[in-house]
Amino acid sequence: MESSKTRSVTLFDGAFTGDNLVLSAGATSGFIYLLSQIFPNKTIIWAEQLSYFLAISMLKNSLSFPIRDVKIESDGIDLEDLETKWYSTYSIIECKEAKKNQKFLGALYLVPGNATKYA
């Protein structure tokens, strides 16, 4: 029998091992941990206006991430609102540079099924 560290699982045509998995006490703590590792410089988190309040509170108050809201519609996030707010925050030159340097300018936090529940 293989040890849990060497066992791998194939998912989405990629292998995951103990070296590249993160175990957490729950989805929110894992989410917070990963964001703080990926974005140590506190990038903007774009979030639906109606989001999971504990995650938003932790990101904003405990970890000091700037939060920007994005409208939601009955069929999901309002992409026009996101685009307008995105380009009022970042210039096209900044976006092109980030793409060229393979850097993320922000993160988008979505709650599955949010539009059908609240809009």
Report pLDDT digits (tens) over 48-76: 887 777 778 888 888 888 999 999 888 78
As a whole number of Å, the CA-based R_g of the chain is 17
Per-residue pLDDT, 115: 55
Q: Which is nearest to 29 in space by CA: 11, 3, 49, 52?
A: 52
What is the rounded CA–CA span in Å between residue 69 and residue 109?
10
Per-residue pLDDT, 117: 54
- 3-class SS of residue 84: helix
Per-residue pLDDT, 14: 62
Per-residue pLDDT of the chain (119 residues; tens, 9 = 90+): 444 444 444 444 566 666 666 677 777 777 778 887 787 777 888 888 877 777 788 888 888 889 999 998 887 888 999 999 999 999 999 999 988 988 888 888 877 766 555 54
Number of other residues whose CB lies within 10 A of the CB of residue 72: 22
Give the pTM: 0.65
Sort strands 72-73 and 9-11 into parallel, antiparallel or unpaired: unpaired
DSSP symbol at 72: E
Per-residue pLDDT, 9: 44
What is the rounded CA–CA span in Å between residue 105 and residue 101?
11
